[in-house]
Amino acid sequence: MESLGAGRRVAELAKFSGPKRVMRIRGHCIHSRRRRLGRCERMPAGHRLFFREHPLRVLLIAYEFPPGPSPQSLRWARFARELVGHGVELRVLTVQRDAERVRLPAPSGLVIDRTPPGAVSGLIAHVRARHVVEQTGQPYAPGRANDESAVASSADFNEMSLNWKGRLVRQFDRASGVLAFPDHFGQWAHAARLRLKQLLDAFVPDVVISSHEPATTLELGRVARERGFAWLVDLGDPVLTSYTPHRWRRRAHQVEAWTCRNASQIIVTTPATRDLLVARHDVAFERFSLLPQGYDRSDGPAYAPDKSLPVDPETLELVYTGSFYAFRRPQALVEAVVASSGVRLTVATRTPPHWLMEVAEAHPAKVRLAGFLPHAESLALQQKSDVLVNIANDDRVQTPGKVFEYLGAARPILHIGSSEGIAELLQERRRGVVAPEHPDAVRKVLGRLAEMKIAGSLAEHFDLRLDLFPEFEWKTLGDRLFGIVGELSRERR
């Protein structure tokens, strides 16, 4: 596996020599350039895939999976698609989402096992579903996760508010989260563990993958590892973070340590995350592989742009699609937009902070809230923008995955703050500009961008080619993941 020393940048993720080109003959996997009669010649470590009697079997444990719209859900929807494209027999163990709108379709060609989320979480989902039916007369569509047409339109992007009964159940849900590790998502563990044991016996996977968060998937993966299965962990963020509740910090550290020391291989999204875990748990760099978020070159507006969000040819149209976490500070951007002429910011997010709603109400010509948009509509909004906005996290081990999605929109990117490797990447390849996290600095950059917009020279100042970042395309990342999985599958032989 690839081993990168400390201090490398995110841009170095491209420097990976993946497995050789692979052919499929009668369901078997062989190297096209090293083919021998009836067998696959042994090759150097990291480049071997062995002749087998059945397709590679992979079991993915992922709480976040379609139809849920989270970044981790999108990540594994894309990785699952690529693994299936390589001929992998893939099964997914995830949570039952009967009351969830299909905001992100699941890929085809795999089998999904859904287990109940837990008594209280299941009850609140049921209450929410009934409330939506009462308010709109239109039920959720739980069984249509593979149907693109089931994705909700932008007309109903806002979450339906619960009545007093629903709010009461939600309070019970939050209270139960105090007792369940790492939070209320931990209620899923009981039903998931029972189904996991059945799948390990019946499906007999070559590799088991845990997608974190939540940490529940790591504890489930431990069950498989202790039974001798190869175990690949996708550790999007450390388990022990600055926002881990104090009551769970010790357990979070224990889960993280056991995972780092016993997993067959660990995937992280940034070099900083890898460096932190190596130092914290005294494990080797070779145990980690870097696979960031990505984008699809083929991603495009599957839906027509929302007519309620028109663009002004005389205005610099900024677009931000993403969440507002406590460790992400957008105030400098908003202050700069309000103070600038000829600039407007459109924000697509599930839950905007209260202060941002007040700014949008006070300055409707400057700040526009689009609510939550399904993935395809979010892409359409990005592609009709003048400039996309990315806001760095306070924690250096976390790089917003949204910036990699932005790369596929082929629009200039305004990056605010500092993220390891991202600022350099955007500047070196002329895809964006960087501004410090200060209103005056952001306002100066916005002024220059607005002048380019009026002069029609944005395309001259930035390289907007869609194939500018091939190392971050999901196809490339999926090939690398397939190479890792193929190597780990030898543990079960």
Q: SS3 for 287? A: helix
Residue 167 has pLDDT above 80, yes or no: no
Stretch 404-426: mean pLDDT, rounded? 89
Task: Decide yes or no: CATH 3.10.20.90 for domain 316-470.
Answer: no
**C-alpha–C-alpha distance, residues 319 and 412, integer Å:** 11
Residue 261 has pLDDT above 70, yes or no: yes
Please name which of 483, 425, 68, 96 lies closest in space to residue 267, comparing C-alpha atoms: 483
In the chain, % of residues over pLDDT 90: 54
Q: Angle at which helices 331-339 and 439-455 pack, to 10 degrees?
A: 50
Q: Which of 45-59, 136-150, 208-222 has the highest mean pLDDT?
A: 208-222
Q: Is 385 exposed, middle or buried (0-12, 13-18, 19+ CB in 10 A)?
A: buried
pLDDT attached to residue 39: 32
The secondary element (H helix, E strand) that includes residue 44 is none
**C-alpha–C-alpha distance, residues 22 and 303, integer Å:** 35
- Is the Cβ–Cβ distance between 352 and 328 less than 8 Å? no
Q: What is the mean pLDDT of the chain?
A: 79
If you ran DSSP here, which 8-state letter would residue 289 be given?
E
- The alpha-helical segments, DSSP class H, found in 227-289 are 249-262, 271-281
Q: Is 442 exposed, middle or buried (0-12, 13-18, 19+ CB in 10 A)?
A: buried
pLDDT attached to residue 141: 40
Q: How many CB atoms lie within 10 A of CB 250?
A: 11
pLDDT digit string, tens, across residues 332-378: 999 999 999 999 999 999 888 899 999 999 999 999 999 988 888 88
Q: Is 259 exposed, middle or buried (0-12, 13-18, 19+ CB in 10 A)?
A: buried
Q: 189-203, 225-239, 261-275, 315-329: which has the minimum mean pLDDT?
A: 315-329
pLDDT attached to residue 460: 95
pLDDT attached to residue 181: 57
Stretch 45-53: mean pLDDT, rounded? 47
Residue 53: pLDDT band with limits 50, 70, 90: low
pLDDT attached to residue 377: 87
Task: Decide yes or no: CATH 3.10.129.10 for domain 10-294+474-492.
Answer: no
pLDDT attached to residue 29: 39
List strand residue ranges (DSSP E) for 372-465, in order. 387-391, 413-416, 432-435
pLDDT digit string, tens, across residues 12-44: 334 333 333 333 323 333 333 333 323 333 333
pLDDT attached to residue 168: 62
Q: Do domains 10-294+474-492 and 316-470 have the same CATH topology?
A: yes
Higher local confidence (pLDDT), 88 or 490 = 88
Q: Angle at which helices 474-488 and 71-85 pack, to 10 degrees?
A: 70
- Is the Cβ–Cβ distance between 63 and 217 less than 8 Å? yes
Higher local confidence (pLDDT), 24 or 266 = 266
pLDDT attached to residue 320: 95
The CA–CA distances, whole Å, from 169 to 115, 130, 160, 164, 186 equal 20, 13, 15, 9, 17
Q: SS3 for 37? A: coil
Extents of the domains making up the chain: 10-294+474-492, 316-470
Please enumerate in sequence order all residues whose Cβ is within 8 A of that of 283, keeping only pairs 6 or more positions apart, or say none.
Answer: 260, 261, 277
Residue 320 φ/ψ, nearest 5 degrees? -125, 120
Residue 111: pLDDT band with limits 50, 70, 90: very high
